[in-house]
Amino acid sequence: MGKLSKQALSLWAKKENREGQELWLPLVAHLVDTKNVINWLYTHWLNDSQRQVLQQDLTTSEIEQLVNFVGYFHDIGKATPAFQTKPSYNRDYELDDQLIEQLLRSGFEKLAEYEPAFRSKSPHALAGETILETSGLNTSVGAIIGAHHGKPVGEYFDSMSDQLAPYTANYLQSDRNEDLQSEWLQTQHELIDYGLSLTGFASLEEVPEITQSQAVLLTGLLIMADWMASSEFLGTDQSQVMFPLIRLDQDFIDLEMEQRFEQAITTWDISGHWTPQMIPDVDQQYNKRWHFSPRPVQHLMSEVIGQIADPGIIIVEAPMGIGKTEIALTAAEQLAFITGSAGLFMGLPTQATSNAMFSRVDKWVDELAKEENVSLPIRLMHGKAQFNHEMQSLPNAQNIDSQSSVVVNGWFSGKKSMLADFSIGTIDHLLLMSLKQKHLFLRHLGLSGKIIIIDEIHAYDTYMSSYLMRALQWLGVYHIPVIALSATLPKEKRIELVEAYYRGKYGHQLGQSDNAWQDSQAYPLLTYLDGPEVKQFDQFPKSTKSQEVKVVRLDCDDQQLVDQVVNSIKNGGVAGVIVNTVKRAQELSRLLPADLPQIVLHSAFLAPDRTKLEERLQAEIGKGVERPEKLVVIGTQVLEQSLDIDFDVLFTDIAPVDLILQRMGRLHRHDIQRPASLATPTTYVLGINAFGDYGDANEAIYEKYWLMKTDYFLPEVVKLPADISPLVQAVYDPATDEEVSGIEEARAQAEQNKKIAQRKAKVYQIAPPKAHENLYGWLDREQQGIANDDAAAEAAVRDIKETLEVVMIKHTSVGDFLVDGRSMDDVDESEIAQQVIRLPNRITPDITKAINELERRTEKYYHSWQDSRWLKGMLALPLDEHLSTELLGWQLNYSSKLGLQYEKEEENE
């Protein structure tokens, strides 16, 4: 490896005037730093499973050389006059002049007069790809260089000479002056030769071509390495040194590159890594992890999962309350050991279910950490994660002395959250794997090394399912085991899940040799891919805990319903009322007698109030607690998912059969003494005016087609768990439509809505994996419209209309208060930031108008928020002393008992 010339050593990668001190970093130093970091990440941070995907069809030395290659060459596009004469971002002209003077002294002539007319046409990522591809590099690797700022850039050119020819001066200082051009050409080739000798290739042509999935993961790893190598310090703490800039009077020769790299990695690598262990005895494992012996279903499922040789997707269908979470987490340990994965992502339907699950997974990770005597990083991933008390209480990885605990590593935040070893969050974070969005490579990298658990797999509509199936294809490409859990899974969905994963893993459709697995109505049921073969296990002992639930259709008005609810618990007991809209929950609550204890729970509560209500529910009707003498719980769909609560009697609005069964799963859930009049579990089904007539509100939320089929097939007695699968299959199998008279119109409407949803979902979706395509076009959008912020992306994968989140404050003549009465002067800004609520879409159909009005109020009363780390950019909704306000013709009112209520102003007159 030859010495670098003065020209090559004079090029800069970074420059900054920090508090009067002028600093820079030579380009070659940043290239070598990034090469060193990505090499370490590949060798020490990636797990065996990820390395196997990256290595497919390459030798061990080829993939290691390639990893080093992209690390070194990622910023070669900065070796151009267009970049080297770029002004510093804070317009420090003195610093800029000194670095140009340095370039002039090194032999780059006439640079002070250089003014490129089209500098912006050749950003350095595109310039790097252009330089390398026009010098002989293949496009599958070249596209990685172009994509290292989050999005492929070379896709708009037939070949890179199309970029080089019109903008030659960006690359070589002049369109025609060959003397000036030769200096830049010589320097670029010198840096290329230096990089080739560092990475072990004889020429750019020798660099191997790679598949699309290899390119996606390698780009993610490069982005991560570049971010690390661009960090002077770990976070804001300047004592935590990583890759600092140097003074202007220093240069590359003054840097001890190896020592610099080792110090940075020691600073960064503050949390440990999970080393999965073999589970030789399932019963012993359950006792060790959960402190109980497994139920027969848990024992048998864990035994079978532990024997899978080449795991793919695993679908667990089992009753509510059977302990599917323990099956899944045990499987995560088994599968991680088999595949070499070393992390976990668990996706749940809602923020509430994510919060509840975080606590359980946190305890599980703590057990792993103590067993291995390491600290393991965990993240809760949803919009309110920073307000979760349990996550807030976890120590920061850089502040701990002990090596055996669960920690939050601050580096893994924002777009880097998915890179943490253990993450629990809403399903959106998995669905976003399919969304065309900048920096998608990082999400793929983060998920590619984890066991994936998807809870309540039945809970996703057509639109979300479209994203889920595409995500499963990509997880299949990465050979990542996926564990899907459901109590109520239609066979059509079971088939879709298996086929999507199979297609990703093997690149073609699943063969139709043996289809018995598709139609099985056995329950419980374990369906799994072992290599290319679909297998099932259904040899479970007959359930000892079975119950018959009486079903009563109740056609009555709201007052009659409330009278029935009150009467049902006249001798004591807990009644659950699950309805389909927030407004209906609030209306029913108002009709209840004032002296009857009640809890109302739905999505329209302030975040802290909702958390308190969830905690109160668990404390009053959770497992093993002392129950109140009487209680009515009124709620929406949030009550049907993952909350371990128990009703003595259930009233539910009509809904698709799987959701009614989920709601029934909260009925007589625990083995406890009940009032004699409620000894028979009974579910009252509301909202059936007549067959085929379920009211506008219910039909606006659920397809009439599914409500009709549910109404038709729902018997007067449901045997749990025996009837779960037969009922779900009867409702969701199109073949049973012929039994239901008058369903044709509803079915046609449902099919049309499904096609519209699928078409709409595809607009922003990445394509299925294609092994022999490069990254070009991978993130191109047919239409524009999704911003890169998390809230907009979340809305995109859930097909929800854009809504506004506001901070609700009580604003009075004597001062500002939180809604709970505490003065804003006495609470921390982080506490104020928690007072958020999402306004219903009905109130803000004109989102721009609503934002303008809320911004006006925020600026008027709380302009200081713009200087706050917690409150900057948030919109305030000030309420008066009665917790009321007017907004865009709506009267809003808030109460901690009922949540947010709203009425059109003319409705009040």
Query: What is the reported pLDDT for 432?
Result: 87
Q: Which tokens hold the place of 855?
A: 């911004």
| pLDDT digit string, tens, across residues 488-498 | 899 999 999 99
Query: What is the reported pLDDT for 399?
Result: 41
Which residues have a Cβ under 8 Å from the Cβ of 497 and sit 6 or more positions away? Answer: 313, 315, 457, 469, 472, 484
CATH of domain 547-720: 3.40.50.300
Query: What is the reported pLDDT for 838?
Result: 85
Better-predicted residue by pLDDT, 552 or 764: 552
Kind and range of the H or E element at 847? Answer: helix 847-862
Query: What is the reported pLDDT for 93?
Result: 85
Query: What is the reported pLDDT for 316?
Result: 97
Q: What is the mean pLDDT of residues 596-604?
A: 94
* HSE-CB of 574 using CA atoms within 13 angstroms: 24
CA distance 681 to 198: 73
| pLDDT digit string, tens, across residues 246-272 | 999 999 999 999 999 999 998 888 777
Residue 376: what residue type? Answer: L
Query: What is the reported pLDDT for 358?
Result: 76
CA distance 781 to 820: 45
Of 164-178, 390-404, 492-506, the one with minimum mean pLDDT is: 390-404
Q: What is the mean pLDDT of residues 481-509?
A: 94
Q: What is the mean pLDDT of residues 843-871?
A: 87
Q: What is the mean pLDDT of residues 873-889?
A: 93
Query: What is the reported pLDDT for 384?
Result: 52
Return the axis-axis angle of helices 790-798 and 462-477, rounded to nearest 10°.
110
Tell me: pLDDT of 545 over 90. Answer: no
Q: What residues form DSSP beta bridges with 536?
A: 527
Better-predicted residue by pLDDT, 565 or 615: 565
Tell me: pLDDT of 908 over 60. Answer: no
Tell me: pLDDT of 102 over 90. Answer: yes
Fold (topology level) of 6-268? Hypothetical protein af1432 (1.10.3210)
Least Cα distance to 663 among 693, 642, 680 occurs for 642
Q: What are phi and psi of 749, to 5 degrees?
A: -65, -40
In 416-490, which ranges are continuous DSSP H helix? Answer: 428-431, 440-448, 462-477
pLDDT band per the 50, 70, 90 thresholds, residue 513: low
Query: What is the reported pLDDT for 398?
Result: 44
Q: What is the mean pLDDT of residues 50-56?
A: 94
Class of domain 282-537 (CATH, top level): alpha beta
Better-predicted residue by pLDDT, 411 or 693: 693
Query: What is the reported pLDDT for 789?
Result: 54
Residue 684: what residue type? Answer: Y
In 639-691, which ranges are continuous DSSP H helix? Answer: 657-664
Q: Cα separations (Å) of 664 from 23, 615, 715, 802?
A: 66, 21, 14, 32
Q: What is the mean pLDDT of residues 654-683?
A: 93
Of 25-39, 112-126, 179-193, the one with minimum mean pLDDT is: 112-126
Least Cα distance to 429 among 391, 376, 467 occurs for 467
Residue 862: what residue type? Answer: Y
Query: pLDDT averaged over the chain?
Result: 88
Q: 500-517 burial string, b = 16+ CB within 10 Å, else e? A: bbbbbbbeeebeeeeeeb
Better-predicted residue by pLDDT, 584 or 236: 584
Cis peptide preceding 319, ω within 30 of 0: no
Matching fold, domains 282-537 and 547-720: yes
CA distance 696 to 276: 52
Better-predicted residue by pLDDT, 271 or 153: 153
Tell me: pLDDT of 511 over 50. Answer: yes
Cα dihedral angle (127, 37, 50, 408), rounded to 10 degrees? -120
Least Cα distance to 830 among 462, 491, 444, 386 occurs for 386
| pLDDT digit string, tens, across residues 430-478 | 888 998 888 899 999 999 999 999 998 877 777 888 889 999 999 999 9
The model's pTM is: 0.88
The fraction of the chain above a pLDDT of 70, given in percent, is 90
| pLDDT digit string, tens, across residues 384-428 | 545 555 545 555 544 433 444 554 455 566 666 677 788 888 888
Q: Cα separations (Å) of 657 from 515, 582, 654?
A: 25, 21, 9
In the chain, where the domains are located: 6-268, 282-537, 547-720, 801-908
